A and B are shown apart, each in its own frame.
Chain A
Amino acid sequence: MKKGWKETPIRGIILEAGSAHGYSTGGWRKLQPTLDRAKCIDCMFCWVYCPDSAVIVENGKMVGFDLEHCKGCGICAMECPDKVKAITMVLEEEEKEAK
């Protein structure tokens, strides 16, 4: 049960910082990005352009996607340099079946 009007903070204020993190936008996804690690040159274009901060980088290396928040917009695949093209967008179901 959600809180009633007497319990919720007044003025529609949100008292928790970064609460958007708790909002799972991954469910909006129809196309899913897939990474070909062998082709990736770690230029970080995808990381810069991703509107949902859903590109995961560890120790300077691009390692994959945060699928809880990736909306499948495909900007990463688009921005991946033409000579590289390490990211491909695939249909969500196909990806699931492949696994």
Chain B
Amino acid sequence: MADYIEIRWHGRAQQGIVTAAKVLAEAALSEGKYVQAFPEFGPERMGAPVRAFNRISSEPIRLHGQVANPSIVLIADPTLIGTVDLAEGTSDDAVFIVNTPKPPDEMRKKLSLNKKAKVFTLDASAISIECIGRHIPNTPMLGALAKATGVIQVNAVINDFRENYSKKYSQKVIEGNLSAIRKGFEEVKEG
């Protein structure tokens, strides 16, 4: 029925997934797409599990409401496995992108996913500490998303981040995040 892609982000508060969903929406918008980005609001305490959502389409999006059946799930914190139902509502062939140093096969088992599911991993935490000096894995995850799915071009993410966040952050933070996006793109592994 739907001519749009639905994406769900899982993380913990302060890991930047709400911002990641926002950057993704802005980048897709700059490519001429129709977008939605919205967080799920609950107890907003550092460390609490949070979710954020995207819809991306080539047509105007009329649908409002929760994303129930995402085709792409991004997990910014592997310690959520077992705490939160990360595969909820997903189809057999959904894409999972997990922030972890471990190989995709191990994550497939941990998440109890079947063979049709596409599982990608990258050590976004290590990349963010290396590039930004802080544990904010959101921008490497965006790079990985661009590589793994093609839902967005990596250059669109880079350009959006540079254009829209230069006023908010210092040049050093911007550059750090841009290299984090690139590294995420380069280092993501499929399994």
The answer to whether any beta carbons of A and B sit under 8 Å apart in the complex is no
- Name B residues whose Cβ lies closer than 8 Å to a Cβ of A: none
